[in-house]
């Protein structure tokens, strides 16, 4: 039976803003359906962010490839009394037949460079706007946030525990996937484990301890059933007493040949409690029992705890990475940049767009580090473009690759594991100053001379469009 | 064909944190499955919030009623090698058989009062935790945020245009529904229109203007096809010139017996541009063409624009209400408060819980205004409780009503329209000082003497649980 929590297949194409459909109806009526290019980019970096991680591309392309308005969807649109019958018939036959160039899943990107460009008949390309922004926006925002926690943790394990605070069911899945992509070790989200093969982790809730008459009994019961993976939550009541109880259970497990994995602290002064806990555990010879902490953690808190040399082995992060709490939306836009072979440009105050079909070239040095990007026109060669970088790069790489051709997905489709490995390698190659958590340097993104020239000439032409 | 954007039916019960399942396995093994009560509440008001709007109850109950682990879900769980076969068989037969008391959809609530209480066999009640927090959390957070925009707009129309910035597809639906519940006039989200009967609105994108060689031609084309509902976007290039072009089109429409609905400003200094636009329109005798504004609006900006007496008739709000950008997560918790007839209490630092089964009573004065809430034990009568309010209320109302009995939904199920009307009435009755946008007064929520006594005795008992 359909429930509100789930999308029905007929509903996917209706994930649009109404104006996509009214504009489409107008284009249909006018016969405006020449090839158009729309370009997706982040206009401004979120506060304190030095880089972005691109995500959501795989999911988007999958949905685009299968986009169909079925009879149910058309019936609903007809009921609005806005659309003529021939337009609805056209919509019923509509398939996405265009090309999509995009950065690969897990790519590192910066503000004002195209992340994705769609070239398709105007109506098809326009119709994707809402879905592109919604999907690539949230997945990239959450991957970008999670990468910061990975950086802060300096190699210690970080887990996603955020589903309960995610903005809906879908956001919980995206958060689990994006954070794993960005270096987290696993998630508590069972469905994300099933869908994406992400390792699942879990501890216990306070309610488990509370449902027992004695804390130690709760610990024993849990360890008895899961002797190989128990993490005991020690802060339901008094924390040091909880650690002592956990230590007793760990010793009992040890006698039986098992090892308690960890204790978990979820409240209070985590740095101090971790020290206390470490002392108690060590006094019992339990040096191999890890300390896992959670409770309103984010990259800033993780950095602080590590600076304070708190003896913490792993971090469970929830709200902060689940919603990107300090920057919960990306200033991301999907803008028309060419129609019918002619460059297009918007000149509104503070929100200008970039004309033409474009490519992003990244400059690498001899050591494999990258140090600048250049946004160029799509037909500029990498040789011409290399001359515009200073210093001259050892090599340049075009970041937008063809991922959809005539409506079909093409090219390599990295698995989540592959995308994760590539991202972690790229993050390691990214200079430290761009990874600073509060005051990152601004990575150089320049426009090629040819793109600049087009921008200048189009600005002049834009004025004449109002005559 | 299944796509990642959609949940399959088998996936809904897997929207849990792993520990819900490991704890359930342990309870199953131990035979711990007596009645348990879990209580949902917001522990702390988000910054600057004076009240909350409860939402997501309807959707949650619908999902709970239909929760089933099917063979696919069980196969996946078996593959984890964590669970014994008899537990998985038990899960396969599991249905929710408990009772749920909750505030009604659209109720006004405050921190530290139960929004919802589940009483069910321990395993069933525990298993709902992630879903309850995720769903009631996001819907209530977004309704609470949207209500602030409604308040700021002082009766002017507010529209939801946020889907593109929502954290996923599901969040976009929740935002559209929650904001309509909280007084918005409509949404651009077509699927939300279809599902919930919310009025749909839309204007045009900059790309529509840009796809034309001339701005005025774009306006004419759009107005020709939609002469009854055109709102023309005038800021693609120079805004005053855009308004002038829109005015010419409006005059042409007028000659043909139609009226241009509005012009839309989406960038720049909105207060100043609105003044300029109003002057231009009025000069042409177009006093009846409205001015609609958008572009990074929130309740604070709306308040500012209205204070500046900007001649604005309607507001389109996107990001701010789509993600509750200044408070993108609620500090909401689902805590065990009773098990096997015995009250339970967590005493962790800064995160205490409240014991027992509870009721929330609201005190009303003669004029129908409400001025204080009392959290009491569920079996306290309203007569006893009325004595604890000062001044003595004209009447009190219990806010938690039975919405699910033995796993079946019961009681009145308000339509979205009914819930919206009731909320708008309650908001009107809420004293102004609680509605202040930046520095609201703290609404009085007290504990009944009986609940207080239980809290004290349970605190003492909690300490003994660690012996």
| Model confidence at B293: pLDDT above 90 | yes
Task: Compare all CA atoms of chain A with the CA of B173 and give the residue at the minimum distance.
Answer: A15
| Model confidence at A116: pLDDT above 90 | yes
Picking from A142, A211, A467, the nearest residue to B214 by CB comes out as A467
What residues in B contact A167, CB-CB < 8 Å? 138, 141-142, 166-168, 171, 174, 323, 328
Q: Tell me what the pLDDT averaged over chain A comes to.
A: 95
Look at residue A11 in the predicted model and tell me its pLDDT.
87
User: Rounded to the nearest 5°, which phi and psi values hold at B236?
Assistant: -65, -40
Residue found under tokens 């195209």: A114
* Least Cα separation, residue A401 to chain B (angstroms): 22
* Least Cα separation, residue B262 to chain A (angstroms): 15
Look at residue A346 in the predicted model and tell me its pLDDT.
83
Task: Compare all CA atoms of chain A with the CA of B295 and give the residue at the minimum distance.
Answer: A351
β-bridge partners, A264 = A233, A292
User: How many pairs of residues across A and B have Cβ atoms under 8 Å apart?
Assistant: 393
Look at residue B1 in the predicted model and tell me its pLDDT.
60
* Least Cα separation, residue B95 to chain A (angstroms): 15
| Model confidence at B351: pLDDT above 70 | no
Look at residue B2 in the predicted model and tell me its pLDDT.
66
Tens of pLDDT, residues B234-250: 999 999 999 999 999 99
Picking from A63, A205, A466, the nearest residue to B215 by CB comes out as A466
Alpha helices in A226-380 (DSSP H): 239-255, 270-283, 299-307, 319-323
Look at residue A297 in the predicted model and tell me its pLDDT.
98
Q: What is the average per-residue pLDDT within A275-283?
A: 98
Class of domain A150-323: alpha beta
Task: Compare all CA atoms of chain A with the CA of B224 and give the residue at the minimum distance.
Answer: A26
Instruction: Please count the other Cβ atoms lying within 10 Å of the Cβ belonging to residue B288.
Output: 12
| Model confidence at B228: pLDDT above 70 | yes
Do B169 and A238 lie within an 8 Å CB cutoff? no
Q: Which CATH architecture has domain A9-142+331-357+399-464?
A: Alpha-Beta Barrel (3.20)
β-bridge partners, B339 = B36, B342
Please tell me chain A's helix, strand, coil percentages from 3-state DSSP, rounded to the nearest 5.
40, 20, 40
Q: What is the average per-residue pLDDT within A82-111?
A: 97
Q: Tell me what the pLDDT averaged over chain B comes to.
A: 95
Query: What CATH superfamily classification does B203-293 receive?
Result: Aldolase class I (3.20.20.70)
Residue B137 belongs to what H/E stretch? helix B129-152
Which of the four pLDDT bands, split at 50, 70 and 90, describes residue A350?
Answer: low
Domain boundaries of chain A, sorted by first residue: 9-142+331-357+399-464, 150-323
| Model confidence at B350: pLDDT above 90 | no
Task: Compare all CA atoms of chain A with the CA of B84 and give the residue at the minimum distance.
Answer: A225
Tens of pLDDT, residues A130-185: 999 999 999 999 999 999 999 999 999 999 999 999 999 999 999 999 999 999 99
Picking from A191, A214, A225, the nearest residue to B11 by CB comes out as A191
Q: Where are the beta strands (DSSP E) in B137-266?
A: 157-160, 186-187, 231-233, 262-265
Instruction: Please count the other Cβ atoms lying within 10 Å of the Cβ belonging to residue B107.
Output: 23
* Least Cα separation, residue B141 to chain A (angstroms): 9
Look at residue B8 in the predicted model and tell me its pLDDT.
79
- Got the DSSP string for B271-318? HHHHHHHHHHHHHTT-TTSEEEE-SS--HHHHHHHHHTT----EEEE-
Look at residue B383 in the predicted model and tell me its pLDDT.
84
Do A167 and B328 lie within an 8 Å CB cutoff? yes
Of the candidates A115, A114, A113, A117, the one whose C-alpha atom is nearest the C-alpha of residue A125 is A117
| Model confidence at B254: pLDDT above 90 | yes
Q: What is the average per-residue pLDDT within B86-109?
A: 98
Alpha helices in A153-214 (DSSP H): 169-181, 190-196, 206-210
Look at residue A351 in the predicted model and tell me its pLDDT.
64
Do A12 and B29 lie within an 8 Å CB cutoff? no
* Six-digit token string for B434: 């609680």
β-bridge partners, A123 = none
Q: What is the average per-residue pLDDT within B312-339?
A: 97
Look at residue B190 in the predicted model and tell me its pLDDT.
97
CB burial of B390-427 (b: ≥16 within 10 Å; e: otherwise) equals eeebeebebbbbebbeebeeeeeebebeebbebbbebb
B348/B163: higher pLDDT: B163
Percent of chain A topping pLDDT 70: 99
Picking from A14, A27, A266, the nearest residue to B190 by CB comes out as A14
* Six-digit token string for A369: 């580090």
Do A23 and B205 lie within an 8 Å CB cutoff? yes
Residue A44 belongs to what H/E stretch? strand A35-44
- The answer to whether B395 and B155 are in contact (CB under 8 A) is no
Picking from B168, B328, B466, the nearest residue to A215 by CB comes out as B466
ipTM at complex level? 0.96
SS3 assignment, position A76: helix
Residue B404 belongs to what H/E stretch? strand B401-405
Q: What is the average per-residue pLDDT within B112-140?
A: 97
What residues in A contact B191, CB-CB < 8 Å? 7, 11, 14-16
The model's pTM is: 0.97
* Six-digit token string for B452: 């207080």
B25/B85 Cα distance (integer angstroms): 10
Of the candidates B158, B165, B56, B153, the one whose C-alpha atom is nearest the C-alpha of residue B100 is B56
Class of domain B9-142+327-464: alpha beta
Tens of pLDDT, residues B198-220: 999 998 999 999 999 999 999 99
Picking from B7, B27, B325, the nearest residue to A169 by CB comes out as B7
Picking from B164, B206, B269, the nearest residue to A134 by CB comes out as B164
Q: Counting runs of H as helices and runs of E as strands, what totals does chain B give? A: 17, 19
Task: Compare all CA atoms of chain B with the CA of A32 and give the residue at the minimum distance.
Answer: B211
* Least Cα separation, residue A7 to chain B (angstroms): 5
Of the candidates B153, B139, B61, B154, the one whose C-alpha atom is nearest the C-alpha of residue B106 is B139
Picking from B11, B17, B200, the nearest residue to A202 by CB comes out as B17
Percent of chain B topping pLDDT 90: 90
Packing angle between helix A169-181 and helix B169-181, nearest 10 degrees? 140
Look at residue A349 in the predicted model and tell me its pLDDT.
66
B356: alpha, beta or left? (left if phi > 0; alpha if psi -120 to 50): left
* Six-digit token string for B15: 């929207």
Picking from B19, B25, B201, the nearest residue to A205 by CB comes out as B19
Which of the four pLDDT bands, split at 50, 70 and 90, describes residue B349?
Answer: low
- The answer to whether A37 and A119 are in contact (CB under 8 A) is yes
Do B325 and A329 lie within an 8 Å CB cutoff? yes
Among A37, A55, A164, A264, the residue to mutate for chain B (most B Cβ within 10 A): A164
B263/A349: higher pLDDT: B263
Among A200, A329, A343, A354, the residue to mutate for chain B (most B Cβ within 10 A): A329
Do B137 and A205 lie within an 8 Å CB cutoff? no
Residue A71 C-beta-side C-alpha neighbours within 13 Å: 0
Look at residue B346 in the predicted model and tell me its pLDDT.
83
End-to-end CA distance of chain B: 56
Do A191 and B15 lie within an 8 Å CB cutoff? yes
Which of the four pLDDT bands, split at 50, 70 and 90, describes residue A384?
Answer: confident
Of the candidates A32, A40, A28, A31, the one whose C-alpha atom is nearest the C-alpha of residue A64 is A40
Among A1, A10, A12, A18, the residue to mutate for chain B (most B Cβ within 10 A): A18
Look at residue A167 in the predicted model and tell me its pLDDT.
98
Look at residue A155 in the predicted model and tell me its pLDDT.
96
Which of the four pLDDT bands, split at 50, 70 and 90, describes residue A428?
Answer: very high
| Model confidence at A333: pLDDT above 90 | yes
Q: What is the average per-residue pLDDT within A429-453?
A: 97
Task: Compare all CA atoms of chain A with the CA of B33 and give the residue at the minimum distance.
Answer: A211
* Least Cα separation, residue B400 to chain A (angstroms): 22
């Amino acid at each position: 039976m359909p429930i509100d929590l789930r999308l029905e297949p007929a509903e996917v194409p209706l994930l649009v803003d109404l104006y996509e459909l009214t504009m489409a109806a107008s284009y249909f009526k006018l016969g405006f359906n020449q090839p158009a290019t729309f370009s997706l980019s982040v206009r401004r970096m979120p506060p304190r962010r030095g880089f972005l991680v691109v995500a959501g591309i795989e999911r988007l392309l999958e949905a685009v490839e299968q986009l169909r308005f079925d009879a149910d969807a058309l019936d609903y649109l007809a009921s609005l009394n806005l659309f003529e019958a021939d337009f609805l018939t056209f919509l019923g036959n509509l398939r996405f037949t265009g090309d999509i160039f995009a950065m690969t899943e897990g790519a590192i990107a910066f503000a004002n460079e195209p992340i994705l460009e769609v070239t398709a008949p105007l109506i098809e390309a326009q119709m994707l706007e809402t879905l592109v922004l919604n999907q690539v926006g949230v997945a990239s925002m959450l991957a970008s946030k999670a990468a910061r926690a990975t950086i802060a943790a300096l190699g210690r394990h970080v887990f996603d525990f955020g589903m309960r605070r995610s903005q809906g069911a879908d956001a919980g899945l995206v958060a689990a996937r994006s954070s794993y992509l960005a270096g987290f070790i696993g998630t508590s989200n069972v469905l994300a484990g099933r869908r994406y093969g992400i390792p699942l982790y879990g501890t216990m809730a306070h309610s488990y301890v509370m449902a027992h008459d004695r804390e130690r009994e709760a610990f024993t019961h849990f360890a008895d059933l899961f002797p190989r993976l128990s993490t005991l939550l020690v802060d339901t009541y008094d924390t040091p007493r909880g650690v002592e109880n956990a230590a007793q259970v760990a010793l009992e497990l040890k006698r039986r040949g098992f090892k308690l994995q960890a204790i978990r602290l979820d409240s209070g002064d985590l740095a101090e409690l971790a020290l206390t806990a470490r002392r108690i555990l060590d006094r019992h010879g339990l040096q191999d029992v890890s300390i896992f902490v959670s409770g309103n953690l984010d990259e800033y808190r993780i950095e602080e705890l590590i600076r304070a040399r708190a003896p913490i082995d792993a971090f469970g992060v929830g709200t902060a990475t689940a919603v990107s709490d300090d920057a919960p939306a990306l200033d991301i836009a999907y803008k028309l940049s060419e129609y019918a072979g002619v460059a297009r440009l918007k000149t509104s105050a503070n929100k200008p767009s970039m004309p033409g079909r474009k490519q992003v070239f990244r400059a690498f040095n001899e050591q494999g580090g990258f140090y600048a990007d250049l946004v160029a026109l799509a037909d500029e060669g990498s040789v011409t473009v290399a001359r515009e970088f200073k210093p001259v790069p050892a090599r340049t790489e075009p970041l937008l690759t063809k991922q959809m051709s005539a409506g079909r997905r093409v090219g390599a489709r990295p698995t989540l594991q592959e995308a994760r490995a590539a991202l972690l390698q790229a993050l390691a190659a990214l200079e430290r100053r761009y990874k600073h958590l509060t005051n990152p340097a601004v990575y150089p993104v320049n426009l090629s001379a040819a793109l600049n020239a087009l921008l200048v000439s189009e600005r002049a032409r834009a004025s004449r469009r109002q005559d």
